[in-house]
Amino acid sequence: MTRRQLAIRIALGVALAVVAILLGGVLGENWQRVLTALGGTLGLGILVVDSTLTHRRQQKRRRELTEEAEVYEKHRRGL
């Protein structure tokens, strides 16, 4: 994840928290708790999904590099 993507995700999380607090002030304390919990859950979900996708991309790239190295080694040895 680039720094820009991380900054955007943090800003979205903060924005969700601010909206929850503002709506909670209008709707009451119970709603504030519900919305804050929902915002935190969404933020955590986004991070988990992103880290899973990043891990899969890294695994795929590692496999590709290993295959390329094997092909190169075979070519170098003249097999």
**pLDDT per residue as tens digits for the range 50-76:** 778 888 889 999 999 999 999 999 999
The three-state secondary structure class of 78 is coil
Its pTM stands at 0.48
**pLDDT per residue as tens digits for the range 4-23:** 877 787 787 778 777 777 77
The CA-based angle 64-2-18, given to 5 degrees, is: 140
Burial of 47 (0-12, 13-18, 19+ CB in 10 A): middle
